Amino acid sequence: SDQVQFEFSLPAGQKATIRIFNPQGQMIKQTAVSAQQHDLAKASFVVSDLPSGCYFYQIQTDQDCLSGKFLVK
């Protein structure tokens, strides 16, 4: 796939920052999002420009921080 998509709950009025890190831990992409409808936030990143490998993401709000990983083929 050419994109990685994020969809998560976010209370109205709050914002979140999504960061993408390469395998070396360097931040390579970042965007800010806010809830769109019914406390739901969505964001997508184009990853077709990235080499194959394992990448990491971080979703940070004022009250929480979540992280995980995804593969680019």
Quote the pLDDT of residue 13.
83
Residue 32 burial (10 A CB sphere; 0-12, 13-18, 19+): exposed
How far, CA to CA in Å, does 6 sit from each of 26, 52, 66?
20, 19, 12
Quote the pLDDT of residue 1.
60
**Could you read off the pLDDT of 7-60 as tens digits, one per residue?**
999 988 889 999 999 999 999 999 999 887 778 999 999 999 999 999 999 999
Give, as one character, the DSSP assignment of residue 36.
-
Quote the pLDDT of residue 37.
75
